[in-house]
Amino acid sequence: MIEIRQLRKVYPARGGGREVVAVDGVDLDVGAGEIYGVLGRSGAGKSTLIRCVNLLERPTSGSVVVDGQNMTALNARQLRAARRRIGMVFQHFNLLSSRTVAGNVALPLEIAGVPRRERIRRVGELLELVGLSEKGRAYPAQLSGGQRQRVAIARALAGRPRVLLSDEATSALDSQTTAEILDLLRDLSRQLGLTILLITHELEVVKRICDSAAVMAAGKILESGRVADLLARPDSALARAAFPLDGTGREGSHVVDVVVRGAQADQPLVATLARRFDLDVNILSASVRTIGGQTVGRLRLELPGRGTANTTAALAYLAENGLIVGDGPTTDVSQVLADDQPVPEEAGRVESRVAPTGPEVDG
């Protein structure tokens, strides 16, 4: 649905300063109906990237294709039409304080010349979609942050877009409200077949709703893919940060990180190891999540007796079944999200590099 190829955006030098390469050769593919999150720290180039998708920023080079249309090749009239098929929501909602909730949602319909009666019907529909049917006559100042973002989402959906862009839509909200808005976005995506590209600095956003994700730093994509696939990749810094495993085990034991997916997650892995190999397997930590309807878990297991025949056989069994992602704590903390960042001294730091909000407990 969205294909970005070799995208670059360079802001020219101004007032004696240097030019800024905000987006530096980005490739990104967002499938239809998918929720795709781009995660990165402040200044990574996330807003610039997402603004290049609907050409609020014109790329310096590269191409952006949305729903089969090459955005950079459109003339002004075509671009206005294309933008109507792309909704956008922002961190600070951008509502008009002088208009009621209904008036804000109606605005894009007025601009598009939708007749009054049809407009009223559509606004009612949209407010119901975001759970604000009772608030049509209220003014933005009378609403909570979460309710304001719902209004902004309703407004963004007015033109029945196929794509929704979200620039930090939940960053101004507390964690409970963030969860509610994220769940709303996921429901809307499923219900309307809406493709959502969102940018965020919060790991929780990726964990809660994203089917796919990319990590961005200094204008570049460092890693990307389906979240469930990233979880199974030993080198994924995102998986490590978002689905952390800790615990070092006892002296003389063998610690191994495994990933279980889909049907595998329903198998009693620990019991199987115990039975087949006569081992007392200890779960040091686990991070389990439902992603795109599939259960995916990363587990850190402690097998007793490093190098013993039973433990060696159990490791071979795990490897044969493609379950091993890492060798426990020895490799787990050595990766960082960006090459230009120093290697962290302890595990907790890895996470704070992705999310300035700091480490969080997996729920």
Ligand X SMILES: Nc1ncnc2c1ncn2[C@@H]1O[C@H](COP(=O)(O)OP(=O)(O)OP(=O)(O)O)[C@@H](O)[C@H]1O
Residues lying near ligand X in the complex (CB under 6 A) are found at 11, 20, 22, 40, 42-48, 201
Give the one entry of ligand X, Mg ion, none that residue 11 binds, where binding means its C-beta sits below a cut-off of 5 to 8 angstroms depending on kind. Answer: ligand X
User: Which is closer to ligand X, CB of 45 or CB of 136?
Assistant: 45
User: Which is closer to Mg ion, CB of 45 or CB of 249?
Assistant: 45
Distance in Å, CB of 58 to ligand X, minimum:
12
**What is the distance, to the nearest Å, from the Cα of residue 329 to the centroid of all Cα atoms in its chain?**
26
User: Which is closer to ligand X, CB of 252 or CB of 356?
Assistant: 356
Give the one entry of ligand X, Mg ion, none that residue 262 binds, where binding means its C-beta sits below a cut-off of 5 to 8 angstroms depending on kind. Answer: none
Distance in Å, CB of 42 to ligand X, minimum:
3
Residue type, 71: M
Cβ–Cβ < 8 Å for 4, 26? yes
Give the one entry of ligand X, Mg ion, none that residue 43 binds, where binding means its C-beta sits below a cut-off of 5 to 8 angstroms depending on kind. Answer: ligand X
User: Which is closer to ligand X, CB of 9 or CB of 240?
Assistant: 9
User: Which is closer to ligand X, CB of 217 or CB of 256?
Assistant: 217
User: Which is closer to ligand X, CB of 11 or CB of 139?
Assistant: 11
Distance in Å, CB of 46 to Mg ion, minimum:
5
Distance in Å, CB of 274 to ligand X, minimum:
47
The residue nearest Mg ion at its CB is 47
Examine residue 104 and tell whether it contacts Mg ion (CB under 5 A): no
Distance in Å, CB of 64 to Mg ion, minimum:
18
For Mg ion, what does the binding mask look like between residues 12 and 51, x meaning CB under 5 A? Answer: -----------------------------------x----
Distance in Å, CB of 84 to ligand X, minimum:
24
User: Which is closer to ligand X, CB of 170 or CB of 311?
Assistant: 170
Distance in Å, CB of 214 to ligand X, minimum:
12
Give the one entry of ligand X, Mg ion, none that residue 20 binds, where binding means its C-beta sits below a cut-off of 5 to 8 angstroms depending on kind. Answer: ligand X
**Cα–Cα dist 1/211, whole Å:** 14
Phi-psi region of 110 (alpha: psi -120 to 50; beta: other; left: phi over 0): alpha
